[in-house]
A and B are shown apart, each in its own frame.
Chain A
């Protein structure tokens, strides 16, 4: 029923891009995605090609961001790693999104005993610090890319459940939902066509913020040697390797870390911008002042 959708969606995007800080976030993200997609064709060197004669070269004309202890080109490795990081972040947050929103919708819509049980489960999950739980899951599944994806997906599920439940509880009380139920509409239809679209705002915001944290978590797991496995390059592992060369090769720690930082920052900026834009009260205020911020 796309035709009944209010025409405010495009203006939400426009409002987002009108905010200079969010625009910056979007531009950075576009650049990172572009680098991940076309980077492998453009990058000057094979990310895994070793060249011991050129080890630990400082940034210069030949190697823009220098080389590591095996003479591998830091820039090419950063570009190659961006693909892995983004993939892990997107897939794991998708897992968290589907599971979490499912749990939250069910709990908030059914209420009563189902709500109590599901939310106590979520409380239990919340008691474990994110990285610790991810580590424990990787310990169980064994190190590797898929374990990292599952671990990050599981640890970010509860936050989606809470966000979805809170919004579902309030949407459920809206007159149009009650009217629809009174008319005999089935619960599945109401959930899909009335509740889900109306809780999407907070869920979208949470998705962007979770992507930021997922990038950080993946980097941390890979730093510890439990995520992406060599020879596949990853930002976290590059930082781990840089530890042995802090005094001699600052570029080995500065640039991969900067890649993690910039990507995380971009997701955070977009998330914050989305929060401003998708919150109806704030959006009215923003539209009134011409979207300046």
Chain B
């Protein structure tokens, strides 16, 4: 048995070799196909929402503003006077092109209304995930390293508590403490970053901490489990037994292998928060998608509800697809399965 020949250094960078690997292509194509099928289902469910409304949605939406003319005009503008199949095909094609109809409330294109609100929700979700990571990574890694001891139990119980706290209650408590009592931070409102970055951050602080503490509690469990899995791997024992220092083992052998599951949970949390911060947005008068959905439900503005639900579901699917692709690129084991 001769020793294996040293591998010749390859000039192409690693990421390009990974990208051009046939297995990567196969997985990406399969993922895209799956996403496309689910996407069609999502569009169909969103479309059928309006059909399920008992009674005439336009009549209900108009409420006291009802006149025969306004009714006919709105029905025609929303295409509801045409055959069902035509409406459906139109909706699917429109959705693909980014045309989601017009708002029942003011006739504005739904896409405009949504894009107006997206930055506020995206900044809140992003800030929430960041706060969550700041909590989850140290807590999860520490708990895993102290597995089974007191510190681990404390972290586990704390994360259990965090998962059980209603986020809107946490928001109310934070407002009571930091706005009403101490007067340190504003309790509501949103200022675009471009207008005044300092005020933007001050307004973002409380909602982001509210969202982040709950998200962080969920992520802590995943970080802990990921690190525990990495510690249990054979190479960690090998690394320890050949006398590597604790720092080297932790950084190079444990954390590096825990990164992939952590990236996954960050992606899922991000996707979940885009649609999951509705009540927090209402508490903090945050003009995002959640607040928009709430206002639209109250006003029975069905096209906007449909559009918001669709947009958030699509973002959710895309983020999941992205996470899968990153997975494949980062972890050679998935590629070579």
Contacts and interface: CB of A to CB of B under 8 A. Distances in A.
Interface of A: 21, 120-121, 123-125, 127-133, 135-136, 138-142, 212, 216, 219-220, 223-226, 239, 242-243, 246-247, 250, 253-254, 257, 260-261, 264-265, 268-269, 272
A220 B275 CA distance: 13
B164 A268 contact: yes
Given A129-B276, A250-B176, A268-B160, A219 B293 contact: no
Interface of A (DSSP majority class): helix
Contacts of B168: 220, 223, 239
Nearest to A143: B297
Contacts of B49: 136, 139-140
B169 A257 contact: yes
A257 B317 contact: no
Given A21-B157, A128-B309, A254-B173, A135 B316 contact: no
Nearest to B298: A225
B281 to A, nearest CB: 11
Given A140-B53, A257-B166, A128 B172 contact: no
Interface string B137-164: 0000000000000000000010011011
Contacts of B293: 132, 135-136
Contacts of A142: 54
Contacts of A224: 278-279, 282, 294, 297
B76 to A, nearest CB: 23
Given A132-B290, A246-B180, 18 more contacts: A120-B37, A121-B41, A123-B34, A123-B38, A125-B45, A133-B309, A135-B293, A141-B52, A141-B54, A216-B166, A219-B166, A224-B278, A224-B282, A257-B172, A261-B165, A264-B164, A265-B161, A272-B160
A224 B281 CA distance: 11
A129 B274 contact: yes
A253 B157 CA distance: 24
6 contacts: A131-B275, A131-B278, A138-B297, A246-B187, A253-B172, A264-B165
Nearest to A129: B275
B300 A239 contact: no
A12 to B, nearest CB: 21
B305 interface: yes
B213 interface: no
B255 interface: no
Q: Which of A129, A135, A269 has the most chain B CB within a 10 Å cutoff? A: A129
Given A133-B309, A139-B300, A226-B297, A124 B161 contact: no
A132 B279 contact: no
Closest 9 CB pairs of A and B: A129-B275, A257-B169, A124-B41, A265-B164, A247-B180, A264-B164, A132-B275, A139-B297, A127-B313
Contact of B38 (A120, A136, A264): A120
A219 B283 CA distance: 14
Contacts of B312: 128-129, 132
B45 A124 contact: yes
Interface string B305-335: 1101100110011000000000000000000
Contacts of B181: 247
A127 B180 contact: no
A264 B42 contact: no
Contacts of A123: 34, 38, 41
B29 to A, nearest CB: 17
B104 to A, nearest CB: 12
A257 B41 CA distance: 37
Contacts of A225: 298
Interface in B262-291: 272, 274-276, 278-279, 282-283, 290
B297 A135 contact: yes
A129 B316 contact: yes
B215 interface: no
B91 interface: no
